[in-house]
Structures are given as structure tokens and as C-alpha cells.
Amino acid sequence: MAHAADFELIESTRPALDARRASRPKPASKRWRGAVLPLLALALWWSVSETGISRSGLLVSPQQVWHTGIEQIASGALWRALSASLARELTGFALGTAGGLVLGSLLGFSRLAERVLGPSFNTFKQISLFAWIPLISVWFGLGDAAKVVFLSLAALLPVVAHVSDGIRNVSPELLEVARVYRYTRWQVVVRVVLPAALPSVFTGIYLALIYSWLATLGAEYLLVAGSGIGNMLIDGSEQFRMDLVLFGIVVIGVVGWALNAGARLLERRVFAHRSR
Amino acid sequence: MSELLSRAEKSIKRGIKQSIKRSVKQGIKQGAEESIKRSVEPDRANDLQIRHVSKNYAQPSGNLAVLEDIGLDVAAGEFVSVVGASGCGKSTLLRLIAGLGAEFDGTIRLDGQAVAGTSLARGIVFQEHRLFPWLNVEQNIGVALRNSGLDAAQKRRAIAEHIELVGLVGFEHAYAHQLSGGMAQRVGIARGLVNRPSVLLLDEPFGALDALTRSRLQGELQRIWAQERITMVLVTHDVEEAVFLGDRVVVMQPRPGRVKRVVDVPMARPRNRSDPEFIRIRDDVLREFAEPGGLVDAASSTTVPTSPRAWPPHADTVDSPITSWRLAW
């Protein structure tokens, strides 16, 4: 074993070091570079409204937006709108993802299903989601049911596409290894296909989360009824309250960012040991 | 006839204890028997018999003969190298032995049993490591044991033993992307051996490695083979590797794939790549590839630069660079 041990030193330390180096977080100075542009924009906005170059009601000051924000939070209006929107988004996301996992697995595993359903699904995919709005509003009204249906549709499409792709693109080399070791069909599915497809499945679910949040806003604009962040924006524009509109936009951005960051964090946890 | 011969051989083998004489036959050159000496006697009597194996691929332009009437017997515990240009069907032959190929003509028997489909009695190591990226070293070796019928404790022990065998102690929990190419291939070898197969098939296992790692792993493989006494069949296009590792070197030629010649390597191990005898045998094999098509007689090709006199002086201090001996097809 002594013979084996002495070249491990040469053979192994490099990649192990490289792996550690790659996973080390970036230094703080580099991480904050992304904040430069928003801070500059904020400074410009603030200086423009301070110096009084623009006295138009179309441009409100940052301080005004800030106060509106505080007031919305304090009165509970923000929380009501946000919880209504998030409940909708998560319901639609959950339904769409569940349906997408089933349909995607069917298309990925069954050649028959792929031949029968594949072309229809690919055509369906090409139709803009918003084209379904009139139909949905006639069938399901303008309430929460219609919105959830729309969101589910938005979440369904990426999940189906990525799940079926992930299953179909499992490396034939690895399937052959399973054959060498006499894996049963069930073992191949559970031990090889699913783990191999998992990164692609995760990408599909991640996209579903993002799409369904974007679609939440679309649904609230187009199927106007009830409360939500989208309705807060509509109210703001109807009452000519730019501070409310801008505050709504900030909230939407923060929620989108949080969803994105949460999904990325989870992905990094789940696939920590895999090479990317 | 040949069955009778092999049965006779086995009874002789059991009779003599030390300095065993083993008759080795070749399907195409029947009757030509040569004996080789081995210091250790394999504890199992399982021969790999390949008889009249042919394989055709149906193509639009007609049938493409990949293998034509291959005959080869590998004795238990023997190391046979199969060398040939790409397209000579050597990998196809190996896949047929592994049970990964579809239909073929002829018979392949291991320990008297005809090969049909894959079996845990036939391990294989591929050119690419083919490790599951979501499993660590331990779990990847465990892949081979899933249907072995061993209980959890036995599996753990077998895995630990094989990690030690291939020199990866301390890397049990590393994932494939954290391993160098050579280390990943060691895991591949451990996975191939962990079921204690009757025969381990190696499909250009070191083909994708750099020269230094390759020569190291060749030495390691030789040690593992001597230690484990498992029959091995190595497919390679590296003549030096074939001679370094094999008891015999089977030279194949393409279109259609056939056995051209079988060269004995009656040298003790570990072998020295700069030993004059080693160089002589290596050049003898290389001469088979001297002319395009490789159909010329070894004796009439003394003018090609692969003749022994054309090589650099037989310095026994430095190993010649391995890369220069790899046939670049």
C-alpha cells in the first residue's frame, strides 16, 4: 500500500484543492459591485427631486415613497395585498408543478405517450399564456379560481419540458452500467434515471416558481378582482399616486429576488456534491 | 474435439502442483499449443472459451462484418491483451463477452456456461470511468453490489476491501468530480472487481489518461491481477501496454475483425519496459502493424522503421516514453 500511498499525494491534492477554491465565496468587494448601479440611480432620483428640477406630479421623491411604504406596512394594507398574491402564486405553483411532474414523467418514460401527447404539447407550448385569459375569464370568472388556473398553466409548461428532457437525456453510458450490474427496471428508474434527471427537474421547478410569480402580476392586472400586489399598483395608477405605484414595484422586485435567492440556495444545498 | 482437449487439460492441471504447464489453444490455429509457466495456480478452473464468433451490422450498403470467426481460449487466472487498430472489432468482442452486445454467431462460454446477457460473474471497466456523479466513491462501488445478494455488513466489508485494493483509502466519501482521471478509473476497477467476478474485462481503461498516470495504473493493475488472480481480458491500442500486462497478446486486424496472431509473453513480472526481451516482443507485435492493412508477413517487413535495429539503443536505465509507442489510430 505504501506504493499506492505515495502517488496519491501527487494525483489527488490538486483537484481537491481546486474544488475547495471554487466553492469559496467571492470577496465582499466583488459581491457589492452589483449594487453600484441601483445606488447611483437612487442618488440621481433623490437629487432630481431635491433640486426641484421637476415639479411634475409624475415624479415623486424617494422620501415620499419611503413614507408611503411605512404607512402601507403599518396599516396592514401591504400585508393583506402581499399575502393574497403569495397565496395565489404558491397555490398555482404547487398545482402546476404537480401536474408538470406527472405529465413530464409520462412524456419522458413512455414512448407511446411521447408520440401521442408530444406534438400536442409542443403546439400548446407555443401559444402565448395571455391568449388563454379570455377563455379562462369566461370559464372561471375573474376571481381567485381563474387566477390560480392561469398561474398553474404558467408553472406547468417549464416543469413538463424540463422533466421529460431530463428523463430522456439520461446518459446511455450510465444506463449500460446499470445493465452490467443487472438492475431491474424499477432499480433503473429509482437509482439511475431519477437521480440523473434531478438537476433538470429542479431547473424546471425553479423556472415554474419564477414564471408563476411573473404570471401572478399578469393575472391581477388582467383578471381584476379582489386584493393583491397587482391591485395595489392599479389602485395607485388610478388615484394618480405614483408613490404607491413605485412602492408596489419595489415590493414586487424584492419578492422576486427572494424567491430566486431561496431557490438558488436550495439548489446549492441539494446539489452541493455534484459538478456543475 | 476441442472440448475434449480442454477437459484433458483441466485434469492435468489438477495433477501437477508446482510449475504448472498449461496448454493454451487458439480457435483459428487449432493444434498449435504452447505452454507458459506461472508461479501461482488459480484456485478456480473457469475458462473463457470463444468459438467461431462472428458479428455483422446491417447497413444500407449491405452487411458490415465486424467480427469474423474469432476463436480464443483464456485460461483461469490468465491475463490476455487484445490489441488492434480502431475498427478491428476488439471492443465489440469485449462487449459480446460482457453480454452487452446483441445477437452474434458462434458461442462464448465462461466456465461452461454460454453467455446470454450480463452477469455479475463478468466485470467490466470502461474507457470512461462511468461513475454516477451523485454518488461518492463508496456508493459507486456499492452500485455493483446492489443485486449481489450480500447483506449490508458484507457489502460494507467488500467495499472497504476494494477501496484498499485500489489504493483509495481516505477518499471513500469523495465524489467523481473531486477525483482525478486516474483515481476515477481506480474506482471503476474496484467496482468491476467487487463482485469477485470470474473474469474482468477492461475496455481501453487507461486510454483517456495522461502517460504518467497510465503507466502507474498499468503497474497497479498488474499488482491487483497478481494479488487477486482473476482472469483479465484487456482491450487496448497501446502495444506496449498489451505486452507489459499480458500473458499473451492477441493481435487483431480490421475489415473484418479477425485474430491475426497470438504472441506469447513468457516474461516474469513485474516487467521492465527497457528489458531487451520486452523490447523484442513489443517490436515483434508492432511489426504486425507495420504495413497498411497489416497483411504483410512479419519476416518480410524488416525494412519498416519498426524493426528492432531502427529503435534507439536499448538503454536499461530510462523507460522509453510511453506515448511514442501508442499507435495513433
pLDDT in the model for residue B19: 38
In the predicted structure, residue B292 carries a pLDDT above the cut 50? yes
What pLDDT, in 10s, does the model give residues A1-32? 344 433 333 344 344 444 444 445 556 667 78
Q: Is the ipTM of this complex over 0.85?
A: no
Read off φ and ψ for residue B198, nearest 5 degrees.
Answer: -70, -35
pLDDT in the model for residue A274: 66
Q: How far from each other are the two terminal CA atoms of chain A, in whole angstroms?
A: 33
What pLDDT, in 10s, does the model give residues B35-79? 333 333 343 455 888 888 888 877 777 777 788 888 888 888 899
Please tell me the distance in Å from B307's CA to the nearest CA on chain A: 35
Q: Coil, strand or helix: which one is B246?
A: coil
Q: Which residue of A has its CA nearest to B188?
A: A177
User: Nine-digit cell at B320?
Assistant: 522509453
pLDDT in the model for residue A93: 92
Interface residue A21 vs chain B (CB under 8 A):
no
Please tell me the distance in Å from B309's CA to the nearest CA on chain A: 35
Q: Average pLDDT, stretch A189-215? A: 91
Correct CATH for B75-101+109-121+197-325 of 3.40.718.10, 3.40.190.10, 3.40.50.300, 3.10.450.50: 3.40.50.300
Domains delineated in chain A: 61-270 (1.10.3720.10)
For A173, the closest of B119, B128, B176 (CB atoms) is: B128
Q: Average pLDDT, stretch B258-268? A: 85
What pLDDT, in 10s, does the model give residues B77-109? 899 999 988 778 888 888 888 888 878 888 888
Q: Residue B42: is the preceding peptide bond cis (ω within 30°)?
A: no
In the predicted structure, residue B21 carries a pLDDT above the cut 60? no
Does the beta-carbon distance from B130 to A198 stay under 8 Å?
no
Q: In angstroms, rounded to a whole number, what is the distance separating the alpha carbons of residues B133 and A173?
A: 12
* Pairing mode, strands B62-74 and B48-59: antiparallel
Does the beta-carbon distance from B146 to A12 stay under 8 Å?
no
pLDDT tier for residue A103 given thresholds of 50, 70 and 90: very high
Number of CB atoms found within 10 A of residue A36's CB? 9
| Least confident piece of the model among B83-92, B204-213, B216-225, B287-296 | B287-296
Q: Average pLDDT, stretch A58-83? A: 83
Burial of A6 (0-12, 13-18, 19+ CB in 10 A): exposed
Closest by Cα among B222, B328, B324, B240 to B284: B240
Interface residue B149 vs chain A (CB under 8 A):
no
In the predicted structure, residue A55 carries a pLDDT above the cut 50? yes
In the predicted structure, residue B295 carries a pLDDT above the cut 60? no
Instruction: Indicate the residue type of B261.
Output: R
Q: In angstroms, rounded to a whole number, what is the distance separating the alpha carbons of residues B147 and A53?
A: 78
CA A207, A208, A211, A217 dihedral sign is negative
* Pairing mode, strands B248-253 and B79-84: parallel
CA B217, B223, B229, B231 dihedral sign is positive
pLDDT in the model for residue A96: 93
Radius of gyration of chain A (CA): 25
Contacts of B130 in chain A (CB under 8 A): 173-174, 176-177
| Least confident piece of the model among A48-57, B280-289, B306-315 | B306-315
Interface residue A175 vs chain B (CB under 8 A):
no
Q: Average pLDDT, stretch A36-56? A: 79
Q: Average pLDDT, stretch B260-273? A: 85
Number of CB atoms found within 10 A of residue B127's CB? 19
For A27, A96, A265, B86, the CA distances from A261, given in Å and listed in that order, are 19, 21, 6, 50
Q: Average pLDDT, stretch B127-154? A: 89
For A92, A99, A112, A160, the CA distances from A156, given in Å and listed in that order, are 9, 6, 21, 6
Q: Are B313 and B327 in contact (CB under 8 A)?
A: no
The proportion of chain B whose per-residue pLDDT surpasses 90, expressed as a percent, equals: 9
Does the beta-carbon distance from B177 to A12 stay under 8 Å?
no
Does the beta-carbon distance from A177 to B120 stay under 8 Å?
no
Does the beta-carbon distance from A195 to B179 stay under 8 Å?
no
User: If you write DSSP's letter for every residue of A234-255 in order, what string do you get?
Assistant: HHHHHTT-HHHHHHHHHHHHHH
**Higher per-residue pLDDT: B18 or A152:** A152
For chain B, the maximum distance between any two Cα atoms, rounded to a whole number of angstroms, is: 61
The proportion of chain A whose per-residue pLDDT surpasses 70, expressed as a percent, equals: 85
Q: Which of A9, A273, A274, A276 to mutate to test the interface with B (most CBs of B within 10 A)?
A: A273
pLDDT in the model for residue B125: 92
Q: Average pLDDT, stretch A176-181? A: 91
Torsional class of A76: left (φ above 0), alpha (ψ -120 to 50), beta (otherwise): left
Does the beta-carbon distance from B144 to A15 stay under 8 Å?
no
pLDDT in the model for residue B202: 92
pLDDT in the model for residue A20: 44
Q: Are B52 and B106 in contact (CB under 8 A)?
A: yes
pLDDT in the model for residue B165: 85
Does the beta-carbon distance from A15 to B119 stay under 8 Å?
no
pLDDT tier for residue B178 given thresholds of 50, 70 and 90: confident
- A and B: number of Cβ contacts within 8 A: 83
Closest by Cα among B171, B167, B135, B139 to B155: B139
Contacts of A15 in chain B (CB under 8 A): 178-180
In the predicted structure, residue B309 carries a pLDDT above the cut 60? no
In the predicted structure, residue B226 carries a pLDDT above the cut 50? yes
Instruction: Indicate the residue type of A37.
Output: L
Q: In angstroms, rounded to a whole number, what is the distance separating the alpha carbons of residues B289 and B135?
A: 42
Burial of A149 (0-12, 13-18, 19+ CB in 10 A): buried
**Higher per-residue pLDDT: A60 or A82:** A82
Q: What is the DSSP letter of A184?
A: -
Does the beta-carbon distance from B134 to A273 stay under 8 Å?
yes
Interface residue B116 vs chain A (CB under 8 A):
no
pLDDT in the model for residue A28: 65
**Cβ burial A106-120 (10 Å sphere, 16+ → b, else e):** bbbeeeebbeebeee
* Mean pLDDT of chain B, nearest integer: 74
Q: Average pLDDT, stretch A59-64? A: 80
User: If you write DSSP's letter for every residue of B261-322 in order, what string do you get?
Assistant: EEEE----SS--TT-HHHHHHHHHHHGGGSSGGG-S-SGGGTTSTTSGGGSPP--SSSPPPS
Q: Average pLDDT, stretch B29-33? A: 36
- Planar angle of CA A99, A100, A105, nearest 5 degrees: 105
Please tell me the distance in Å from A276's CA to the nearest CA on chain B: 9
Q: Coil, strand or helix: which one is B105?
A: strand
For A51, A58, B42, B120, B201, the CA distances from B229, given in Å and listed in that order, are 89, 86, 6, 17, 14
Cα B11 from chain centre: 26
Q: In angstroms, rounded to a whole number, what is the distance separating the alpha carbons of residues A86 and B77?
A: 68
Grid look-up 453467455 returns: B115
Torsional class of A195: left (φ above 0), alpha (ψ -120 to 50), beta (otherwise): alpha
For A183, the closest of B130, B146, B167 (CB atoms) is: B146
Burial of A253 (0-12, 13-18, 19+ CB in 10 A): exposed
pLDDT in the model for residue A57: 64
Interface residue A14 vs chain B (CB under 8 A):
yes
